[in-house]
């Protein structure tokens, strides 16, 4: 098959080739959930779709997957009250997520008398490296009768100095992190997952985010123009930083990870009145190259003696705790009170224990020079299930 042919395989033509189109005919009769089950996983076998990330694996995608340009992050509250209903929700979502990550419609429609089964705005696009990562919040367990399965370490993040959290961006029973190299593909994924779960979940808060990669790749810059994501564990070599190992938590979380998300406003107006020297002192890195202070290249070793004691990087290194940072910038209009930009960083980190995040954030405490320029406005912690094997479903280890 030529590259031209591969590009031409759109969501719809892929469905036709695999015969899923026929399933549309039964949607009216059995409802959407019934159809997803009726279609089974054979019809969703991985295809040679351009720009798609594998759904099945030891771990969920969207964690160590190289970052895409866009995220749509949704925090949900559940309306359901039993483990069985949670299992049914995950069984409904799993084949949909596989399709969304393969760049396919969640189901085709032939009946013009009912609303289309896929909302349709991703039609004609390829998979755009879409990944969908699902996690559960600490508040879920009591609500669905799973109190005994809640890991001891899994509580809401503590209050940190200088936190000004808005309840409108805090907490949640479930999360959907949809990433893609296209904002509409990421949004489409969340929209369709939420849509089929009407009456089972409600969106508590959501945030879109973006990253801009230089041509040919490299570290994206945050809205303060500094390269963000340079110092990160190498996934394959430093597995123990991110993935819960056997015996380290409740058995259902082995192979999973904790996702910490913080909606951090960055005061762009103040930053833009700050000298370059002071900006560099704030992070302990040079703006243009991303190199640690006193060094030439981005990935040169950091000499901690060269860094201001209250710089962000120096303080992050005062604890041995490590994490995988996978953040996105956001720009969401203006703050109603001040008219300032409501813009900043949707900070996302993955670690096998919440304490890793807590230790670093406590190390910043009131000292971090960056505090002058940022305010934490939102916060949540989720436990992301391990990956899915064929014939299984997301969260099976917890909801079976
Ligand atoms: C708006 C808020 C933040 C901004 C703008 C920001 C920006 C940066 C930048 C530019 C770097 C240096 C380059 C790099 O290695 O990526 C950095 C490093 C780092 N940041 Fe942040 N950061 C923010 C919040 C946080 C938070 C909330 C945490 C975790 C609690 C965190 C943890 C780290 C860590 C662990 C490093 C690596 C330090 C090292 O070992 O070199 N950051 N951050």
pLDDT tens track for 319-335: 999 999 999 999 999 99
Checking if the pLDDT of 364 tops 50, the result is: yes
pLDDT at 14: 39
Burial 369-393 (b: 16+ CB within 10 A, else e): bbbebbbbbbbbbbbbbbbbeeebb
pLDDT single digits (tens) 271-291: 999 999 999 999 999 999 999
Tokens of 58: 């030891």
**How far, in Å, from the CA of 208 to the mean position of ligand 1?**
20
Distance CA 256, CA 385 (A): 5
Strand, helix or coil for residue 178: strand
Tokens of 377: 């406005």
Dihedral sign computed on CA atoms, order 156, 358, 238, 230: positive
Of residues 33 and 368, more confidently modeled: 368
Q: What angle do CA 350, 90, 115 make, to 5 degrees?
A: 115
pLDDT single digits (tens) 293-321: 999 999 999 999 999 999 999 999 999 99
Looking at the CA of residue 349, tell me the nearest atom of ligand 1: 29
Looking at the CA of residue 317, tell me the nearest atom of ligand 1: 40
Tokens of 134: 């699902």
pLDDT at 235: 80
Looking at the CA of residue 226, tell me the nearest atom of ligand 1: 10
| Closest C-alpha to ligand 1, atom 21 | 312
Q: Identify which of 318, 325, 312, 329 has the alpha carbon closest to the alpha carbon of residue 372.
A: 312
**How far, in Å, from the CA of 290 to the mean position of ligand 1?**
12
| Closest C-alpha to ligand 1, atom 12 | 228
**Angle, to 10 degrees, between the axis of helix 83-101 and the axis of helix 183-196?**
150
Region of poorest pLDDT, from 8-12, 189-193, 209-213, 242-246: 8-12
pLDDT at 24: 33
pLDDT at 69: 98
pLDDT band for position 5 (cuts 50, 70, 90) = very low
pLDDT single digits (tens) 14-42: 333 333 333 333 333 333 333 333 333 33
pLDDT band for position 46 (cuts 50, 70, 90) = very low
**How far, in Å, from the CA of 107 to the mean position of ligand 1?**
41
Checking if the pLDDT of 8 tops 60, the result is: no
pLDDT band for position 48 (cuts 50, 70, 90) = low
Looking at the CA of residue 345, tell me the nearest atom of ligand 1: 1
Tokens of 216: 């040919």
| Closest C-alpha to ligand 1, atom 8 | 228
> What is this structure's pTM?
0.90
Computed over every residue of the chain, the mean pLDDT equals 90
Number of domains in the chain: 1
pLDDT at 20: 34
- Please tell me what DSSP assigns to residue 67: P
pLDDT at 190: 98
243 CA to centre of own chain? 15
Q: Identify which of 269, 285, 289 has the alpha carbon closest to the alpha carbon of residue 277.
A: 285
Distance CA 211, CA 67 (A): 8
Pocket of ligand 1 (CB under 6 A): 222, 224, 226-231, 262, 264, 266, 283, 285, 302, 312-313, 316-317, 323, 325, 344-345, 347, 357, 360-361, 374
**How far, in Å, from the CA of 183 to the mean position of ligand 1?**
24
Checking if the pLDDT of 222 tops 80, the result is: yes
Which domain range does residue 58 map to? 3-399
Distance CA 218, CA 31 (A): 45
**How far, in Å, from the CA of 4 to the mean position of ligand 1?**
41
**How far, in Å, from the CA of 109 to the mean position of ligand 1?**
46
**How far, in Å, from the CA of 320 to the mean position of ligand 1?**
14
Q: Are 22 and 108 in contact (CB under 8 A)?
A: no
| Closest C-alpha to ligand 1, atom 35 | 316
**How far, in Å, from the CA of 291 to the mean position of ligand 1?**
14
Checking if the pLDDT of 204 tops 70, the result is: yes
Strand, helix or coil for residue 336: coil
Looking at the CA of residue 357, tell me the nearest atom of ligand 1: 30
Q: Which of 282, 310, 325 to mutate to test the pocket of ligand 1 (most atoms within 8 A of CB)?
A: 325
Rounded to whole angstroms, the maximal C-alpha distance in the chain is 70
| Closest C-alpha to ligand 1, atom 16 | 229
pLDDT at 239: 87
Distance CA 394, CA 321 (A): 29
Q: Are 93 and 195 in contact (CB under 8 A)?
A: no
**How far, in Å, from the CA of 43 to the mean position of ligand 1?**
43
């Amino acid at each position: 098959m030529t590259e031209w042919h591969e590009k031409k395989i759109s969501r719809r033509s892929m469905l036709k080739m695999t015969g899923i189109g026929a399933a549309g005919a039964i949607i009216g009769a059995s409802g959407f959930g019934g159809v997803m089950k009726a279609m089974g996983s054979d019809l969703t076998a991985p295809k040679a779709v351009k720009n798609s990330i594998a759904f099945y694996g030891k771990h969920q995608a969207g964690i160590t997957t190289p970052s895409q340009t866009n995220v749509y992050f949704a925090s949900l509250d559940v309306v359901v009250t039993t483990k069985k209903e949670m299992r049914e929700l995950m069984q409904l979502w799993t084949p949909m997520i596989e399709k969304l990550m393969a760049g396919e419609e969640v189901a085709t429609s032939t009946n013009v008398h009912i609303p289309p089964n896929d909302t349709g705005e991703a039609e004609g696009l390829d998979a755009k490296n879409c990944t969908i990562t699902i996690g559960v919040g600490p508040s879920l367990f009591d609500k669905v009768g799973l109190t005994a399965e809640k890991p001891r370490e899994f509580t809401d993040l503590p209050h940190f100095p200088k936190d000004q959290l808005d309840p409108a961006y805090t907490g949640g029973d479930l999360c959907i992190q949809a990433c893609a190299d296209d904002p509409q593909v990421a949004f489409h994924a969340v929209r369709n997952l939420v849509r089929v779960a009407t009456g089972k979940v409600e969106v508590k808060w959501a945030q879109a985010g973006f990253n801009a990669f230089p041509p040919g790749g490299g570290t994206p810059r945050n809205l303060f123009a500094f390269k963000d994501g340079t110092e990160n564990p190498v996934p394959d070599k430093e597995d123990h930083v991110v993935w819960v190992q056997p015996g380290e938590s409740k058995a259902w979380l082995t192979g999973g990870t904790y996702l910490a998300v913080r909606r951090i406003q960055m005061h762009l107006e103040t930053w833009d009145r700050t000298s370059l020297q002071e900006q560099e002192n704030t992070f302990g890195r040079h703006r243009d190259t991303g190199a640690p202070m006193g060094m030439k290249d981005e990935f040169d070793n950091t000499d901690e003696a060269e860094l201001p004691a209250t710089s962000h990087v120096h303080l992050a290194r005062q604890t041995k705790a490590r994490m995988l940072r996978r953040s996105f910038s956001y720009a969401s209009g203006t703050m109603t009170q001040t008219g300032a930009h409501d813009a900043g960083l949707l900070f996302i980190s993955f670690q096998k224990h919440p304490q890793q995040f807590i230790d670093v954030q406590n190390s910043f405490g009131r000292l971090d020079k960056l505090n002058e320029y940022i305010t934490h406005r939102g916060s949540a912690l989720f436990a992301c299930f391990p990956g899915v094997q064929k014939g299984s479903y997301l969260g099976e280890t917890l909801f079976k």
